[in-house]
């Protein structure tokens, strides 16, 4: 009833390799799986909460293995190890052996290889390295492979640090990505400079060069409707002559047209079709069935050569042409995909989460060092949970702050759980290190250290103990850095008769800072939220004192009640500026700050350099575009688009700063209030 003829079994020929003298279309099947965005990482994996987004990574990996086994020429690349490792630990030995065979034969290739596809702007380079190491170590241990290719296809702009440190220095042969400024892309399309040699480091020069490929449009299939998920609307290749809608010729023409268009903006006779996008291949056979047909019929047509490929094969093919490539230096920042759509909003989105990630990163570094010093436990606490949580948090929809609120909560929860587990290890390790004669395998020290992660709300239970009757609070300070660290410590205390001694018994200079009422109220409210009950008593002071710690070492200080030496200890008071018509100068060394009678910073001076500068202090804020008007682009979590800068009106109001000044600590609190402070 269709186009006539006779229906027969068609053995699709997908065995094509690179053909010299022809345009080679490298068909690269892939999926891009965010480890959290609209749903949490675990919701994405198991496929729950699909009212938000229909996505199940478990389906992708489950259906991928039998699809690859159907044809030895089929290939697939996978990126996010956080998902793959979740899937891997659930598989039988038989499935694992099968997958190892697919990997060793090159039909399944791990690309990028980190736990996630990390951001490149708001992350710290140490965290980029750590999360990449976790993924690569697993791949090496399980499959004996090391990823060759960087695949940063979705982060919102790209850093030169990624090119040289997380690219060339990692050992990658190439780095592929998508998001660059739309004007830059248009220019590069016209000059055939989408593929370049990226020199990301001025210091290392050409030794850290890496081949970099920018996709001409996005990381999805090319124009012409080549989406083949079961619920996609692209026309499939209908090649049964007994059925209606026979369209082989049309589909081949669509494929060739897309190939020629991409070849016009690409150097050499090799181009890449990225066949996939976010959370695709949930039923992998629906994609491979159509790609088998396209490769078969396109190669019968003969105008171009299509082949199953991977970025590694594509990179090798590019290298073999001996083509000279343009040189790129510096970053691909900021990223804009349209006029007035600069993706710089995420630089500051969810600042509390950004701060939490950075704090946990530093803690993770120290915890791993201490874990090594005393020996890793097979049954006790480890740093693994915190390491996994931090790896997820580097994702380009995590630390960036571009995820939904419940997903941000999930990242924070994982960090908190990881911290609690690492905290036990750190306490044990510090106890072991502090006890003389302890060997490196100490596991049960008699000294018990307690940490204070809630100092930001002035809560530290050990420091609120009764120090009467000769008791002392022992403060151990550990330095995880490779150089000497000198800093000022602040600890909340109950008494104003506090003395601080070092490990040699010498009294050291200290400063008592009164805790403001506003801080006490915040403390009580948040502590009750954490513990369910209000604290019994509130500290009245911070004690501030200088600490000096050797590289990778620790120092011990003792806080007790006693008579303070007036020459080296002081008690500060909170002074309100603005209630009197006089200037206030703060700073006890060469640097001085001067505040005028209204409480505004007015002058800075340096007695050593003789530099003196006047200031005018104003308070302003940005109004964000709301998307109304001719241009619908709004300001938000991704994009910073201010409508203007608006000064905070102070008519009838006054800024009344409160100063707390001493030898080690000067704090200025500015609050805008109606009228005067009562």
pLDDT of residue 676: 32
The residue-averaged pLDDT of 128-140 equals: 98
pLDDT of residue 677: 29
Q: Comparing 660 with 362, which gets the higher pLDDT?
A: 362
Q: What is the band of 61 on the pLDDT scale with cuts at 50, 70, 90?
A: very high
Burial letters 32-45, b for 16+ CB under 10 A, else e: bbbbbbbbbbbbbb
- Coil/strand/helix, residue 478: strand
- Coil/strand/helix, residue 418: helix
pLDDT of residue 655: 56
**In whole angstroms, what is the distance from residue 399 CA to residue 389 CA?**
12
C-alpha closest to that of 597 among 579, 623, 619: 579
- DSSP code string of 163-207: HIIIIITTT-SEEEE----HHHHHHHHHHT-SEEEEE--TTTGGG
C-alpha closest to that of 627 among 618, 614, 638, 612: 638
Say if residue 458's pLDDT is above 50. Answer: yes
Q: What is the band of 572 on the pLDDT scale with cuts at 50, 70, 90?
A: low
CATH class held by domain 24-342: alpha beta
Cis, bond preceding 398 (omega within 30 deg of 0): no
Count the residues in the chain.
678
pLDDT of residue 92: 98
Instruction: Quick: pLDDT tens for 346-389.
Output: 999 999 999 999 999 999 999 999 999 888 877 788 999 999 99
pLDDT of residue 8: 83
Say if residue 437's pLDDT is above 60. Answer: no
**In whole angstroms, what is the distance from residue 271 CA to residue 262 CA?**
7
Say if residue 282's pLDDT is above 70. Answer: yes
The DSSP H or E segment spanning 543 is strand 541-549
Considering the domain 571-669 in this protein, what is its CATH number? 2.70.98.30
The residue-averaged pLDDT of 651-671 equals: 62
The CATH homologous superfamily to which domain 455-568 belongs is Golgi alpha-mannosidase II (2.60.40.1180)
| Full strand arrangement of the beta sheet holding 584-586 | 584-586, 591-595, 601-606, 611-614
Q: Which residue ranges make up each domain of the chain?
A: 24-342, 351-434, 455-568, 571-669
* Residues 349 and 400: beta-carbon distance below 8 Å: yes
Say if residue 656's pLDDT is above 70. Answer: no
Instruction: Quick: pLDDT tens for 299-315.
Output: 999 999 999 999 999 99
**In whole angstroms, what is the distance from residue 153 CA to residue 32 CA?**
8
C-alpha closest to that of 27 among 322, 313, 323, 320: 313
Torsion of CA 188, 190, 196, 199, to 10 degrees: -40
* Residues 168 and 208: beta-carbon distance below 8 Å: yes
Say if residue 287's pLDDT is above 90. Answer: yes
**Helical H segments across 199-310, by residue range:** 248-263, 284-301
**Helical H segments across 343-383, by residue range:** 351-374
pLDDT of residue 508: 93
- Angle CA(284)–CA(290)–CA(293) in degrees, nearest 5? 135
* Residues 557 and 502: beta-carbon distance below 8 Å: yes
Which residues in 550-671 belong to E strands, given as ranges? 554-561, 569-571, 574-576, 584-586, 591-595, 601-606, 611-614, 620-624, 642-647, 653-655, 658-661, 666-669
The CATH homologous superfamily to which domain 351-434 belongs is Glycoside hydrolase family 38, central domain (1.20.1270.50)
Here the contacts of 575-581 (C-beta below 8 Å, separation 24 or greater) are 575/658, 575/659, 575/660, 575/661, 576/656, 576/657, 576/658, 576/659, 576/677, 577/656, 577/657, 577/658, 577/659, 578/654, 578/655, 578/656, 578/657, 579/656, 579/676, 579/677
* Residues 137 and 175: beta-carbon distance below 8 Å: no
pLDDT of residue 164: 95
Beta-carbon count within 10 A of 328 CB: 21
Percent with pLDDT over 70 in the chain: 91
Say if residue 668's pLDDT is above 80. Answer: no
Q: What is the band of 530 on the pLDDT scale with cuts at 50, 70, 90?
A: confident
Say if residue 169's pLDDT is above 70. Answer: yes
- DSSP code string of 105-121: TTSEEE-S-SSS-B-SS
* Residues 405 and 349: beta-carbon distance below 8 Å: no
**Helical H segments across 516-593, by residue range:** 517-531
The DSSP H or E segment spanning 21 is none
Average pLDDT, the chain: 91
Lowest mean pLDDT among 187-191, 287-291, 426-430: 426-430
C-alpha atoms less than 13 angstroms from C-alpha of 136 in its C-beta half-sphere: 17
pLDDT of residue 678: 29
**In whole angstroms, what is the distance from residue 240 CA to residue 85 CA?**
40
The residue-averaged pLDDT of 622-648 equals: 91
Lowest mean pLDDT among 134-143, 369-378, 632-641, 647-656: 647-656
pLDDT of residue 675: 33
Say if residue 667's pLDDT is above 80. Answer: no
> How far is CA 15 from each of CA 20, 236, 528, rounded to the nearest angstrom?
15, 21, 67
pLDDT of residue 674: 41
Instruction: Quick: pLDDT tens for 76-109.
Output: 999 999 999 999 999 999 999 999 999 999 999 9
* Residues 133 and 93: beta-carbon distance below 8 Å: no
Residue 282: CB partners within 8 Å, gap ≥ 6? 55, 56, 59, 60, 63, 229, 230
- Coil/strand/helix, residue 158: strand
Q: Comparing 637 with 601, which gets the higher pLDDT?
A: 637
C-alpha closest to that of 308 among 273, 346, 358, 357: 273
Say if residue 673's pLDDT is above 50. Answer: no
* Residues 671 and 646: beta-carbon distance below 8 Å: no
Say if residue 485's pLDDT is above 60. Answer: yes
* Residues 248 and 290: beta-carbon distance below 8 Å: no
Say if residue 442's pLDDT is above 80. Answer: no
């Amino acid at each position: 009833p269709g186009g006539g003829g006779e229906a027969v079994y068609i053995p699709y020929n997908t065995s094509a390799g690179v053909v010299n003298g022809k345009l080679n279309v490298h068909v690269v099947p892939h999926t891009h799986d965010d480890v959290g965005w609209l749903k949490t990482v675990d919701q994405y994996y198991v496929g729950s909460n699909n009212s938000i987004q229909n996505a199940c990574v478990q389906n992708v990996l489950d259906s991928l293995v039998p699809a690859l086994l159907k044809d030895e020429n089929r290939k697939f690349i996978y990126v996010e190890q956080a998902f793959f490792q979740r899937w891997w630990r659930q598989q039988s030995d038989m499935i694992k052996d099968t997958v190892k065979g697919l990997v060793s034969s090159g039909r399944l290739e791990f690309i990028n290889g980190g736990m996630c596809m990390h951001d490149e702007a708001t992350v710290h380079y140490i965290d980029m390295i750590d999360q990449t190491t976790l993924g690569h170590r697993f791949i090496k241990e399980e499959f004996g492979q090391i990823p060759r290719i960087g695949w940063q296809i979705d982060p919102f702009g790209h850093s030169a640090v990624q090119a040289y440190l997380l690219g060339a220095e990692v050992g990658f042969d190439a780095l592929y990505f998508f998001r660059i400024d739309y004007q830059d892309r248009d220019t590069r399309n016209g000059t055939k400079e989408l593929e370049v040699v990226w020199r990301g480091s001025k210091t290392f020069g050409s030794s850290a060069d890496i081949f970099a490929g920018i996709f001409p449009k996005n990381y999805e299939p090319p124009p012409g409707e080549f989406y083949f998920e079961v619920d996609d609307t692209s026309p499939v290749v209908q090649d049964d002559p007994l059925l209606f809608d026979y369209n082989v010729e049309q589909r081949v023409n669509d494929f060739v047209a897309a190939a020629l268009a991409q070849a016009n903006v690409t150097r050499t006779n090799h181009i890449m079709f990225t066949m996939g996008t976010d959370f695709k291949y949930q039923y992998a056979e629906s994609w491979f069935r159509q790609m088998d047909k396209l490769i078969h019929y396109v190669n019968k047509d003969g105008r171009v050569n299509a082949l199953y490929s991977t970025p590694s094969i594509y990179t090798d093919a590019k290298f073999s042409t001996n083509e000279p490539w343009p040189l790129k230096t510096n970053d691909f920042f900021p990223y804009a995909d349209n006029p007035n759509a600069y993706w710089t909003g995420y630089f500051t989105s969810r600042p509390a989460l950004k701060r939490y990630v950075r704090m946990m990163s530093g803690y993770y570094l120290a915890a791993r060092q201490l874990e090594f010093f005393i020996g890793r436990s097979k049954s006790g606490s480890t740093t693994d949970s915190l390491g996994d949580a931090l790896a997820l948090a580097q994702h380009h929809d995590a630390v960036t702050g571009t995820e939904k609120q419940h997903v941000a909560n999930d990242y924070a929860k994982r960090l908190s759980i990881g911290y609690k587990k690492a905290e036990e290890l750190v306490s044990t390790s510090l106890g072991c290190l502090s006890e003389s004669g302890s060997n490196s395998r100490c596991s049960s020290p008699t000294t018990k250290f307690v940490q204070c992660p809630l100092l930001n709300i002035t809560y530290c239970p050990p420091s609120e103990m009764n120090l009467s009757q000769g008791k002392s609070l022992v403060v151990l300070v550990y330095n995880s850095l490779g150089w000497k660290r000198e800093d000022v410590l602040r600890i909340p205390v109950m008494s104003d008769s506090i003395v601080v001694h070092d490990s040699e018994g010498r009294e050291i200079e200290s400063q008592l800072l009164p805790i403001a009422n506003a801080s006490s109220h915040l403390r009580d409210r948040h502590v009750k939220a954490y513990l369910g009950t209000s604290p019994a008593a509130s500290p009245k002071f911070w004690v501030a004192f200088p600490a000096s710690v050797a590289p990778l070492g620790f120092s011990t200080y003792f806080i007790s009640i006693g008579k303070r030496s007036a020459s080296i200890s002081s008690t500060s008071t909170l002074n309100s500026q603005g209630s009197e018509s006089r200037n206030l100068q703060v700073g006890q060394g060469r640097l001085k700050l001067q505040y005028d009678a209204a409480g505004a910073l007015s002058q800075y001076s340096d007695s050593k350099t003789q530099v003196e500068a006047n200031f005018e202090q104003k308070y302003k804020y940005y109004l964000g575009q709301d998307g109304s008007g001719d241009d619908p682009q709004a300001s938000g979590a991704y994009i910073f688009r201010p409508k203007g800068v608006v000064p905070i009106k102070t008519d009838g109001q006054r800024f009344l700063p409160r100063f707390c000044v001493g030898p080690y600590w000067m704090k200025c609190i500015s609050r805008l209030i109606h009228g005067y402070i009562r």
